[in-house]
Amino acid sequence: AFAQKTVTGKVTDGQDKSEMIGVTVSVKGTNIGTQTDISGMYKLNVPNDESVLVFSFVGKIAQEVVIGNKTTINVTLADDASVLGEVVVIGYGSQKKRDLTGSVVSVSSEDFVKGQITSPEQLVSGKIAGVQITSNSGAPGSGSTIRIRGGSSLNANNDPLIVLDGMPLDNSGISGASNPLAMINPNDIETFTVLKDASATAIYGSRASNGVILITTKKGAKGKPQINFSTQFSSASPVKYVDVLSASEFAALVTEKGNTTMKSYLDTADTDWQKQIYRNALTTDNNLSISGTKGNLPYRISVGYLNQNGILKTSNMDRTSASIGLSPTFLDKHLKVDVNLKGSKSNNRFANTGAIGAAVSFDPTQPIYSGSETLGGYYEWLDPSTGKPNTLATLNPLGQLMLRDDRSDVLRSIGNVVFDYKFHFLPELRANLNLGYDISRSNGSVAIPANVGMSFARGGTNNVYDQNKTNKTLEFYLNYVKELPGIRSKIDVMGGYSYQDFLKDNSNLEKNIAGDVFLDYFYKTQNTLVSFFGRANYSLLDKYLLTVTLRKDGSSRFSPENRWGLFPSAAFAWKISDEGFLKNSNTISDLKLRLGYGVTGQQDVLGDYPYLPKYTISQSTAGYQFGSKFYNTLRPEGYDANIKWEETTTLNAGIDWALKTARISGSVDYYYRKTKDLLSVIPVPAGSNLTNQILTNVGNIENKGIEFNINTTPIHTKDFNWDLAFNITRNINTITNLTKVPNPTFPGILVGGISGGVGNTVQIHTVGYPTNSFFLYQQVYDENGKPLEGVYVDKNQDGVVNTSDLARYKSPQPDFYFGISSQFTYKKWFAGFVTRGSIGGYMYNNLNSTAGTFRTSSNAYLNNVVRNATVTGFENSQYFSDYYLENASFFRADNINLGYRIGRIKNKIDATVSANVQNAFVITKYSGLDPEVQGGIDNNIYPRPRTFTLGLNLGF
Amino acid sequence: ATVYKDPASYKQILAKMYAGFAVSGQQGPAGQPDISGIDEGFSTYLRQYWKAQELTTDESVIGWNDGNLRDYHDMDWTASNEFVTAMYNRIFYQITLTNEFIRETTDAKLAERGVSGSEIKTYRAEARFLRALSYYHALDMFGNVPFVTEADAVGSFLPKQTTRAELFAYIESELKAIDAELTAPMTNEYGRADKAAAWTLLAKLYLNAEVYTGTKKYTEALTYSKKVIDAGYTLESKYANLFLADNNKSKEIIFPITFDGLNTKTWGGMTFLVHAPVGGSMNPAEFGIGGGWGGVRTTKNIVQKFPDATGAKDKRAMFYTQDQNLEIDDLFKFNDGYAITKYKNVTSTGAKGSDIEGNFPDTDFPMFRVADVYLMYAEAVLRGGGGSTAEAVGYINKLRERAYGNTSGNITSIDLNFILDERARELYWEGHRRTDLIRFGKFTGAAYLWPWKGAVKEGKTVPEYLNLFPIPSADIVANPNLKQNTGY
């Protein structure tokens, strides 16, 4: 029978009993639906009594109600705990998001950047205010430079501490791995949490100055086994090529301007060397996981296989990974055990990146192959007097790739077991023990045949190296949580101990094909970190929150007198929206003020023994002859007995807010960070130490900035949902001191070495300026805007242009950087994008400054030039001209994705297909290949490709 | 340090003090540098010493765009010049290195450790010689420098500045004090210093005393030159052999800095001196190397001091002229200026050096050789230090007979200008020229010009303060006790 009827009702907010506007009301499994009106009322025609009504609203738990014989259905929607009651991991514990006092941002798997992601940090690139993630190159598995709120150090490490499932990782390089993080399969990651201010990070003490990233991996699901299989297929290709002269243009240039020697070397081939060295590169990435609960044992097992080719020929990364996660409970759920085991094996082939620069400068009139068997068949420039490869000339770019076999095998396993015991007699008290390891074993080899251009004189290359790293962790803490209803308070106190030991050895054997040994090297080093830490949280009326933390760290890297450091922090948060005057507000659903202060450290310095006097024995290749015997020499090393960690003091003030009706939330943070006792390499007074420069504690840096982010769902209907997120950061970095003895005339420390000449630098650290400010001559132009070769502004007007006229101008650090991401769903379709941008950063175009001059030469080879050479007409390299300094502001579409949820196939398989394009486009004024180069000096980096990916996900 | 408990360690530390003049660090050719802040290959003592003494003069030009290297030709270096700084840092690195060893080898310390042996006493005297040599370079190039001895332990303190006169007196007293403890001339192991090395250094110190202190010491210069000459060193029969891969066999060399293609590898030192002049149409194989670096040439002033550029008469004229222009129109063009073929990595019998790659030569650097002492003797005679003019003429004719292969080049009388020119002919590219030109008043000012002096092709007058290099600004900042040299 036709039984359509009308159902009406009202939807109210479970939190404050107010009427809810704009709630989606729909009939499950149909396209029938409506929205509540201004008074929270709805009215809907439903097909039959068996229909189910679905009430949904952002931030609330959706409710389903069977209609039955009812005609009025009123519902109350409760807050979705996963949004407002969301629990966030913090150092040594977790906390409800709404109770956080520090600046903490968490991104979970559904919000991760999509596409072919090989290394975990790329999952959140552009997603978090205050966090800059710049991939180092386009090579397979390449790492990224992660900067949280600007770097706090000059010479010490500026990388954040990364903690994986409670295990603080050693993130220093692993031999043979292009990036230690790429040994972790991004598909196993559930959340990525960034602790930004000192009140959040200080619990990690001497390693926390550059922020802390907490990564948690996926855990076992409830119920019967769920199997998930995903496969991705990608194709990457170069976005653009360096603009060099074509064969005919180059021949014309040499004919016009070259001398007879040069003209005699021109040939008739037409070779586009860049096209020769790059390729379209295919990648497959396959992941299978099983997750469920058997008895009281939740488990998750996953395996992954990635085979990624790089666009530079021969580069490849092959990774097999597996992980096991078990989280059983015992003793009536009083004892929770968490076991995480991850292992991966990666086989890499590294391309010879020397080919990138060679392809720019190799003469395009020369052929690729010589037509003879010698030198591997590749054309090379020969020394006319010897007929052997010319040692000064550029080597054949393709030969450099194809004849060099550079491979590595790397195994890394990270595992830990966490015992969390809630005392039977005192359930408020919890003991937590974490035992873990992080082990890697690498070995690699570089082989080049004898009698080819690259290694001709040496007689080929046959090098092998290996590295073993063994890091151990033991951590224990007690946590006591008590509600004190009498005084409407809650206390949460934690105290613990941590021990970490880092041991590594390296060996390196360099030989030629005949077996002559050129280097035989072994090195072993160790350091240990011991810590005590504690935290107290106090909350009053669930509105006023106070957190105090303290960590005491002892590092073997410093002398017993300087070994121990104390790192305190305090933070206060006020949940203003829970106050009476806002509690019933119709507009504001959440408003919280956070204030934090803390001191953190940085101890990641070169070498494990900087405070000890020690002697180093020389290699046999640096021996000295007495009589007819050679002696390996003993060198006393320079040292600073008083070296200690640097200290960063951070102040943070933030506001978190959310509006009720507009589905909009966000936060604003202001921070001020001052680092003192910088670990800096400075000149020692000559004669006072066994070196001329030493790593010591001197200097101060300030970083201050504002972070702003906003998340909104502008449209939310039954069929269509649109999420939009925006974040922007302004960071100002200033050096405030650099010398032990105050000296206002100190010009600064030259940094920023470039290619071209030897020892040439284009940047400087100076008091009063940002770190790595550019330090160049100001170019003078003619009336047509053409730069005049070698003519610069006499800044100090003393009549001569010399080094005193070099000027500090701009820096690689942008004034602003931002991210915009969005996701749309329409019925079974979904689409989204992630974009990033940066404004005000500058880049030194080192490629133009080295390959942008044409001069006559007596060399027995020719080098092509970039087209810029025809613009400037420079005959001698002008490395220090600010002509080569360019605005590197950019806007980049990191990812655009489109997908379709096919849904249940035969009621068994849940299938989704997707398509992605990564690095879709870049808008910039920068004239080089890519405006994003960490450090601000662009010189032949492995270019980032554009990647198209097709993906299929099946759930069983 | 526990290293001193093992008697064998002492010789290895001694080897480090000598190696400090040759290599850049503990890994050859590069990898564990002694000093930083500059490219490791650039950082070696000999390479910097050579550049400071030669690129600033008529003997050489270099065509590389490396930092402010060109300031050396242009004679407009400042206190922040990284090459001047590297030279200064190398000198003081050697001084702290030797101080450390001298401090750790007192009789009391040796007794305390139960280590004995007269060799260690000799090592200690050699360490003092090496320290005196570096202080001599500091005296010659920088003048008023920080002063530290074994009494100053390693740590953060600010060394006091000494005056040039005080430093002169200190070097003089040190070299005299160790005379008894050094081995007799030509009795030590090859590569190690002996009494004659110390005497040669004393002779140099006295010959330049008027420049350093204002007081003439030509008599003393003559005395010590004579002591060296009488010690029995003999001229190598063939001039060219002094600069080849087997020059360790020469009985003319008093004190070498040694290099070896397998065991003493560096991108500085002799590797630089053999490779850098090879370019253009020169055949690297003739130099025992895989390929040249194409950078260093000489000016016409040096070429014109010889009767002809081909070496037909005076065989010391070792110029490569094919496809090269005598005139230097463009400093950065390798073909402008004749190249010099003096240093080679082949032996006197034509065999290639031991490094199969041809990168690292076996050739040693003749820091002191007796021909130089002959010329010092003659100069001391002419400057009123006593001695015999006839004997002086005799010594110089020995050099000329070797050069000409017969007596056709012999002279009968000498004057100071002749001595300066003869020093150029005999000792060009051996690291003496800057000191010589200053002693003759021809380095700065208008008395003597050469191409590109003062950054112009014809050469021009440059101010007198350039006779001393500046104390590097890095050290002025680090050490408030220091006062900059006049003019900078």
In sequence order, what DSSP letters do the residues of B204-228 get, joined into one string?
HHHHTHHHHHS---HHHHHHHHHHH
Tell me which chain B residues have a C-beta less than 8 angstroms from the C-beta of A740: 156, 478
Question: For position A81, what pLDDT does the model report?
Answer: 56
Q: Do domains B1-182+453-478 and B196-257+370-443 have the same CATH topology?
A: yes
What backbone torsions phi and psi does residue B404 show, to the nearest 5 degrees? -90, -15
Which H or E run contains A701? Answer: strand A700-716
pLDDT tens sequence across B229-253: 999 999 999 999 999 999 999 999 9
Mean pLDDT over each residue of chain A, to the nearest integer? 90
Residue B250 Cα, gap to closest chain A Cα (Å): 13
Which residue among A390, A619, A692 places its CB closest to the CB of B26? A619
Task: Identify the closest residue of chain A to B89 by CA–CA distance.
Answer: A692
Task: Identify the closest residue of chain B to A877 by CA–CA distance.
Answer: B65
Tell me which chain B residues have a C-beta less than 8 angstroms from the C-beta of A619: 26-28, 31-32
* Domain boundaries, given as residue ranges, for chain B: 1-182+453-478, 196-257+370-443, 259-363
Question: For position A1, what pLDDT does the model report?
Answer: 42
CATH hierarchy code of domain A87-217? 2.170.130.10
Instruction: Work out the average pLDDT over B129-144.
Output: 98
Task: Identify the closest residue of chain A to B266 by CA–CA distance.
Answer: A622
Tell me which chain B residues have a C-beta less than 8 angstroms from the C-beta of A750: 82
CB distance from B153 to chain A under 8 Å?
Answer: no
- Partner-chain contact A876 B332, CB within 8 Å: yes
Question: For position B417, what pLDDT does the model report?
Answer: 96
CA distances from A103 to A491, A493, A726 (A): 21, 20, 17
Instruction: Work out the average pLDDT over B285-303.
Output: 94
Tell me which chain B residues have a C-beta less than 8 angstroms from the C-beta of A519: 27
Q: Rounded to an integer, what distance in angstroms lies between the CA atom of residue B431 and that of residue B436?
A: 10
Write the DSSP symbol of residue A369.
B
Q: Would you give the distance in Å from CA B37 to the centre of its chain? A: 23
- Partner-chain contact A688 B27, CB within 8 Å: no
Complex confidence, ipTM = 0.96
Instruction: Work out the average pLDDT over B196-218.
Output: 98
Q: Rounded to an integer, what distance in angstroms lies between the CA atom of residue A357 and that of residue A938?
A: 12
* Domain boundaries, given as residue ranges, for chain A: 5-77, 87-217
The fraction of chain A above a pLDDT of 90, given in percent, is 63
Which residue among A628, A693, A747 places its CB closest to the CB of B80? A747
pTM score, two decimals? 0.86
CB distance from B340 to chain A under 8 Å?
Answer: no
The fraction of chain B above a pLDDT of 90, given in percent, is 88
Question: For position A659, what pLDDT does the model report?
Answer: 87
Residue A626 Cα, gap to closest chain B Cα (Å): 5
Least confident window among A682-691, B189-198, B397-406: A682-691
Which residue among B15, B82, B335 places its CB closest to the CB of A858? B335
Where chain A has pLDDT below 70, the residues are 1-3, 15, 58-59, 80-85, 606, 661-662
Task: Identify the closest residue of chain B to A800 by CA–CA distance.
Answer: B76
CA distances from B230 to A29, A144, B199, B369 (A): 113, 69, 11, 13
pLDDT tens sequence across B21-47: 999 999 989 989 999 888 899 999 999
Question: For position A606, what pLDDT does the model report?
Answer: 67
Strand partners, A473: A436, A500
Question: For position A593, what pLDDT does the model report?
Answer: 95
Q: Identify the residue whose tokens are 């998340």.
A: A711
- Partner-chain contact A616 B32, CB within 8 Å: yes
- Best of A390, A454, A518, A625 to mutate (most B CBs within 10 Å, chain B): A625
CB atoms within 10 A of CB A526: 13
Q: Would you give the distance in Å from CA A529 to the centre of its chain? A: 25
CATH of A5-77, picked from 3.40.50.2300, 1.10.10.10, 2.60.40.1120, 2.40.30.10, is 2.60.40.1120
Tell me which chain A residues have a C-beta less than 8 angstroms from the C-beta of B92: 686-687, 692
The angle that helices B370-382 and B218-230 make with each other, rounded to 10 degrees, is: 150
CB distance from B362 to chain A under 8 Å?
Answer: no
Q: Rounded to an integer, what distance in angstroms lies between the CA atom of residue A292 and that of residue B312?
A: 94
B1-182+453-478: which CATH architecture?
Alpha Horseshoe (1.25)
**Two tokens at A555?**
């590092």
DSSP one-letter string for A877-908: --TTBGGGEEE--EEEEEEEEEEEEEEEETTT
- Partner-chain contact B89 A692, CB within 8 Å: yes
**Two tokens at B275?**
């490779």
CB A600 within 8 A of CB A566: no
Exposed, middle or buried, B487 (CB in 10 Å: 0-12/13-18/19+)?
Answer: exposed
- Best of A621, A694, A806, A880 to mutate (most B CBs within 10 Å, chain B): A621
Among residues 374-393 of chain B, which lie with CB inside 8 Å of chain A? Answer: none
CA distances from A793 to A216, A701, A790, A802 (A): 55, 30, 10, 10
Number of H helices, E strands in chain A: 9, 54
Domain B196-257+370-443 falls in which CATH fold? 1.25.40
CB distance from B274 to chain A under 8 Å?
Answer: no
